[in-house]
Structure 1
Amino acid sequence: MNKHRIPVIAGNWKMYKTRDEALQFIYAVNQEMPSRDEVETVICANDVLLRDLVKRQGESLKIGAQNMHFAENGAFTGETSPLVLETTGVAYVIIGHSERRAMFNETDETVNLKVHSAIKHDLTPIVCVGESLEIREAGTTNEVVKNQIIKAYANLNDKDALSTIVAYEPIWAIGTGKTATPEQAEETIKAIRDVLASLYGEVASKIRILYGGSVNAKNIDALLAKENIDGALVGGASLDVSSYLTLVKAALNK
């Protein structure tokens, strides 16, 4: 982890936690969060919970959404407008998560539209990319991820690119208990940074790139020890207070 880039520990609660459970979590961790100058701490929750959580977030912990539509309004039943997210007070939004791509027909093109829309509405997009096990075994991971980045960042200028965060999540490691080795994660994340450098030059050295995929208290230190890994997008390990705090402290101590 490069000390010049502020690390990010972003929890993705997916479709877990009731309102009471979510509030209990926020109350428990709020006072334990480090300054945002040291670690950016984020919880991305179900849309229904967002306003309640924003109202109770502390000085450091910020709330994010797990998805959004690119349009401000329209006949899109069940979707969430970026305008609504902006007025709700969330600071981040996950875009292009592999579960959204696989189960809800998210494409590289819609990812790009959402990235532009998020930035327009002062939301920090956490842009997810990653490969399947078949792609990993075929040895074409870097090529596939490169194409995902190029399409996601199409027509984005230097200033806007700097306001994004990338999350590399190998699909085969999400929720499976399998984790890319720190060396595998670093290799691919370095390739992502190289692609960003080809698009934005020196700006790429300032863009945070996270690893996601069965991150937990046992592997976080080894992952954060790598030069290009700037934090983690965390699923299951972000649901438990003590586990989440352990991940945050690991980032703080690097």
Structure 2
Amino acid sequence: MAPRKLAAGNWKMNGTLAALAEIDQILTEYPAPGCEVLICPPATLVQPMAARAEGRLAVGGQDCHAKMSGAHTGDIAATQLKDAGASHVIVGHSERRTDHAETDAQVSAKSVAAHEAGLVAVICVGETEAQRDGGETLDIISAQLAGSVPDCATASNTVIAYEPVWAIGTGRTPTSEQIAEVHALIRDRLVARFDDGADIALLYGGSVKPGNAAEIFAIAHVDGALVGGASLKAADFGPIIAALSAA
């Protein structure tokens, strides 16, 4: 088994029903891509997108609660995402860690909930600009992996996404050498901890665009991308899918 090639789009808090026309275009132009395609829309669009996609691309949530039900107003359970047609869920995104003060332990608990619901957990890690400038990147990533990835993680139920916080939505992208260094570290840590650690897919995220996708996908241990703004339009996301298919 080799790591899956996955082009994942995170729509964040963007999109209404009208935006589903974008996946129609993707499905028309890339009916049989050479990689897996995943889109994580707002929770309001999970069910209609899954119904529209009919299994031709995967649909995921952007977060889930660590518990399956209860008095948690405004939250969504992994089982509810599964019931709506999702196959994946993003956990530990830097915006959740920053805006909601999520800890590694909470991310790990959410990952376990995702696994128990039958979802693939896309677990995000990444350093801030201050941490990068302070030479702390590898220590931060190692600590996040240790605390955020649960013992039940496998190549079939877990994807790791490295997203340097300072590159998300800024137009700034780390050098190929910087990405390679972090992805090599992640792979080493996973191999040391899990029997199938060599097969867990590693995504890069942070200002991935059609113009730089091929270069990023040529880097060792980069198995795909978690794409933000460029996943909102088929005209942008499609070339990224094509670049990964050709990698």
Q: TM-score range by the shorter chain?
A: over 0.9
Instruction: Provide the residue aligned with 1:151 in structure 2.
Output: 147
Give the structure 2 partner of residue 16 of structure 1. Answer: 14
- Measure the CA separation in 1 of the matches of 2:113 and 2:31: 30
Deviation at 1:26, TM superposition (A): 1.7
Q: For 1:43 and 1:85, how far apart are their aligned partners in 2?
A: 13
How many angstroms does 1:119 deviate by?
0.7
Shift in Å, 1:106: 1.2
**How far off its partner does 1:104 sit?**
1.1
Find out whether 1:176 has 2:170 as its counterpart: yes
Of residues 58, 74, 79, the one that matches 2:75 is 79
- Aligned-pair RMSD on alpha carbons? 1.5
TM-score by length of 1: 0.93
Q: Shift in Å at residue 197 of structure 1?
A: 1.3
Offset at residue 58 of structure 1 (A): 4.0
Q: Following superposition, which runs of at least 4 residues in structure 1 exceed 6 angstroms of deviation?
A: none
Which secondary structure state, in structure 1, belongs to the residue aligned with residue 106 of structure 2? helix
Alignment match, 1:96: 92
| Conservation of the 8 A alpha-carbon contact between 2:3 and 2:155 | no
> Deviation string for 1:120-155 (max 9, x for gaps)?
111111000000011111111011101100111243
Q: Deviations over 1:27-78 (max 9, x none)?
A: 1112333547x30101100001111101000443111110110111111010
Structure 2 alignment gaps of length 5 or more: none
8 Å Cα contact 1:214-1:234 kept in structure 2? yes
* 8 Å contact kept, 1:31–1:58: no
Give 3-state SS (helix, strand or coil) of 1:192's partner.
Answer: helix
Report the TM-score when normalising by structure 2.
0.96
- One of 49, 52, 58 as aligned partner of 1:56: 52
- Is structure 2 residue 213 aligned with structure 1 residue 220? yes
In the alignment, does 2:138 pair up with 1:138?
no
1:242 aligns with one of 220, 235, 242: 235
- Measured in 2, the distance between the counterparts of 1:10 and 1:101 equals 20
Provide the C-alpha distance between the structure 2 equivalents of 1:169 and 1:227, rounded to a whole number of angstroms: 16
1:178-217 equivalence runs, <5 A: 178-201=172-195, 203-217=196-210
1:46 maps to 42
Q: Sequence identity of aligned pairs in percent?
A: 36
Any stretches of 5+ residues in structure 1 without a counterpart? none
Paired residues, what number?
247
